[in-house]
Amino acid sequence: MGDYKKFIADFPVDSAEFFTAITYATTELYISMHVLDLENNTAFPIKTNEFIDKFMKCGSTLQESITNIMVNLACPESVSTIKNFTILSTLSERMKNANVISEIFHGKIHGWSKAMFVRVGDDKPLRRVLYVVENVNAQMTKLEQEKELLEQNRKQQNMINALMNGYASVVGVDFVTEKVEFFRTSDRIKSALGFMKEPPPFKILVEKLINTAVHEEDRKSIREVADESYIKEYLPVGNSLSKIFHNEVGQYVEMKIVRTGEETTVFGFTDKNNEITEINDKIYKDSLTQVMNRKYFDDKLALRNSQAVVMADIDFFKEVNDNYGHQCGDAALAAVASILNSSVRNLDRVVRYGGDEFLISFKGITHEVLRNRLEQMRARAEKIKLQDYPDVKLTMSFGGTFGDGIVSDMLSFADKALYVSKKKRNCVTLVPFEEKI
């Protein structure tokens, strides 16, 4: 190939890049280094190895030799790029205004590498260049890490932005520091927190919100999914889960949890009451009476906790149907249901259990208040006047149980109490839960 020292001596060089490259030629940074004499189609090795020498000698021309080296040095996905970069016939044009040009590629042996052409002298057209292949694995690894971090940050921001577009409150948390950041805060959360200028640590924040803004029946399930260990175990990074719960006044709220990183998560909260109520109405509301239907009882209410369960029905309802027709019966059912529904709170539930039977579940009610409420319902039922049936007189019987239990367990006690009331008609009978009649 020739003696590069004689080559340099014969052709004085004043390129700073060239001398810098020569200085570091023997370091581990460079895989190979050759001075290429484009005019005489020869190469002078400064740093090389047996692998490179083998392919350098295989070519009949300098171009073939360089191509042989790079095709065998580069991974398949980089071959096309590096072949184009090492076309010597276009080198003079490409380096017209540059002392150095370079291309990064992925090598089979050394991993990420950089091929460089460094101008030797100011000859025009270009006569001599230094051709260097440098190991840049460390730099590329760092760049890839920085790129990955930037991509993670971009994805995290996109997740936050998506929540910001659809959720009234968006809260971020870092599990390592337990630091909480409010990206957006609703009046409800401000009220629940009492509102502080600086948010409390994550665990304190969650507990405070659960105890003040989540209905007692949903607190256990919300506490479970909002837990750091649950999120890390069941929610992979980049994924999300949604949970519907009732707030403190019984309205539907959606909580969305997005795992934005190994130690970061964002929570979104938004009102879903109108949307879910509309869906539930189609599934669970009785079309005639506009109270909840038997499916609602079976799917939702049967296993809930209650402080009172009441069964009620219309006295002599069969006679109403027989004497005045089913249209009159339907009008009576609708009128009675309206009275029952308007007499309870948002936390209570009225269900058309079957035929003319209605079930009422009460939350947090005392025996005295319960009796007064039922007596009011009974009295209002006596005053019902059906528009097209002025001769029809309606009365209702109520049987209920009070205490603390599961609705389905309390139902049999309410049934027995109703049986007692039906013997007298137009009255209220109450028994303690778990006390035999």
Give tens-digit pLDDT for 399-417. Answer: 999 999 999 999 999 999 9
Residues 11 and 101 reside in one and the same domain: yes
CA-CA distance, 235 to 258, in Å (whole number)?
8
Do 426 and 290 belong together in one domain?
yes
**Tell me, what's the pLDDT at 28?**
52
- A 10 A CB-CB count for 344 gives 19
Q: Six-digit token pair at 51?
A: 């692998």
Mean pLDDT taken over the chain: 85
- 158 and 191: one domain? yes
Q: Under 8 Å CB-to-CB from 69, ≥6 apart: which residues? A: 32, 52, 55, 56
Tell me: do 329 and 262 sit in the same domain: no
What would the mean pLDDT of 148-160 be, rounded to a whole number? 68
CB–CB of 393/330 below 8 Å?
A: no
Residue 156 shares a structural domain with residue 131: no
What mean pLDDT is predicted for residues 241-248? 90
Pick the closest to residue 195 from 1, 205, 22 (CA basis): 205
Could you tell me the residue range of the domain that residue 416 belongs to? 285-432
Give the domain-ending residue among 232, 247, 274.
274
Whether residue 142 lies inside any domain: the answer is no
The string of pLDDT tens digits covering residues 43-99 is 888 887 777 777 777 767 889 888 888 888 888 888 888 899 999 999 988 998 888
The total number of structural domains in the chain stands at: 3
Q: Which amino acid is at 109?
A: I
- 17 lies in the same domain as 107: yes
241 has which bridge partners? 257
> What's the pLDDT at 119?
87
> Are residue 129 and residue 27 in the same domain, yes or no?
yes
Based on the domain organization, do 268 and 291 belong to the same domain? no
Q: Answer yes or no: are the C-beta atoms of 49 and 94 closer than 8 Å.
A: no
The pLDDT of residue 156: 66
For the segment 234-238, the average pLDDT, to the nearest whole number, is 90
Does residue 336 share a domain with residue 293?
A: yes
CATH number, residue 107: 3.30.450
pLDDT of residue 192: 66
Question: Which of 100, 135, 170 is the last residue in one of the domains?
Answer: 135
Taking residues 368-384, report their average pLDDT: 95
- Residue 280 forms part of a structural domain: no
Taking CB atoms within 8 Å and a gap of at least 24, the contacts of 215-223 are: 215/245, 215/246, 215/247, 215/248, 215/250, 217/246, 217/304, 217/305, 218/245, 218/246, 221/245, 222/255
Same domain, 344 and 216: no
* CATH number for the domain that contains residue 426: 3.30.70.270
The count of other CB atoms within 10 Å of the CB of residue 432 is 11
